[in-house]
Amino acid sequence: MPPVTSELTSDGFLLRASCRSFFDAAFRIFFAGLLGAIPFVLWSDLISGLPTDEGMSFWLTSAFLAAWAGAVLYIIAVGIFLFFGEIRIAKSGDGGKIFKGIGNVGRTHRFLWSEVRAADEEAVAEVSGGRFDRTIHCIGLSGTSRRYRFGFELTPEQRAFIIAFLREHALTPVID
């Protein structure tokens, strides 16, 4: 599948951008496997004694393990998205949609294209503190009432193509 495909329709378009990154997906799933094994390897007595424990330690241990399992499942879900996921940007008349997910499962943001004034690449500080500052890039649609940021998972080439396409096909020039 090409990184970005575009389909022009009679009243708009549909852009599809693949988020596929085998390395990132494999790394996250491997990390989730390691993280998921830690309670069983390091704290085997904690796991084996859980059903017989009573009182507050039972509930604290159960809550800790539930949070741990939730974190592992979240990392696995992100890994699966990075392998199979895509971002779809659609225009149908004045209606717009930004979808991020796999197939039909995901999150959709709806908006009006007439409210969007600009499409640019934005740099967002992801982690800030000490000597470890990291900036990530995304696509930003700024409108009269909201700002939409998406495409953190895309390559610079994909973001550049999408921004150029949106400027040409979706954004109407503002006449003062």
User: In this predicted model, what pLDDT tens digit does every residue of 87-99 receive, in sequence order?
Assistant: 999 999 999 999 9
The per-residue DSSP string of 35-96 comes to: HHHHHHHHTHHHHHTTTT--SHHHHHHHHHHHHHHHHHHHHHHHHHHHHH-EEEEEEETTEE
What are the φ and ψ backbone dihedral angles of 109, each rounded to 5 degrees?
Answer: -110, 125
Which domain does 8 fall in, by range? Answer: 4-19+89-169
Whether the pLDDT of residue 52 is over 90: the answer is no
- Pairing status of strand 147-150 against strand 134-143: antiparallel
Portion of the chain with pLDDT greater than 70, in percent? 81
Mean pLDDT of the chain: 82
Structural domain total, the chain: 2
159 and 93 within one domain: yes
Question: Which strands, in side-by-side order, build the sheet including 147-150?
Answer: 116-127, 134-143, 147-150
Q: Measure the CA–CA gap between 20 and 80, rounded to whole angstroms.
A: 9
Give residues with Cβ within 8 angstroms of 62, minimum separation 6: 50
Report whether 117 contacts 54 (CB < 8 A): no
Query: Is 138 within a domain?
Result: yes
Percentages (nearest 5) of helix, strand, coil residues in the chain: 40, 35, 25
Whole-structure pTM value: 0.72
136 and 94 within one domain: yes
Query: Is 133 within a domain?
Result: yes
Per-residue model confidence as pLDDT tens digits over 2-25: 588 899 988 999 999 988 778 888
151 and 118 within one domain: yes
Q: How confident is the model at residue 83 (pLDDT cuts 50, 70, 90)?
A: confident
The last residue of a domain, from among 35, 51, 82: 82
99 and 12 within one domain: yes
102 and 73 within one domain: no
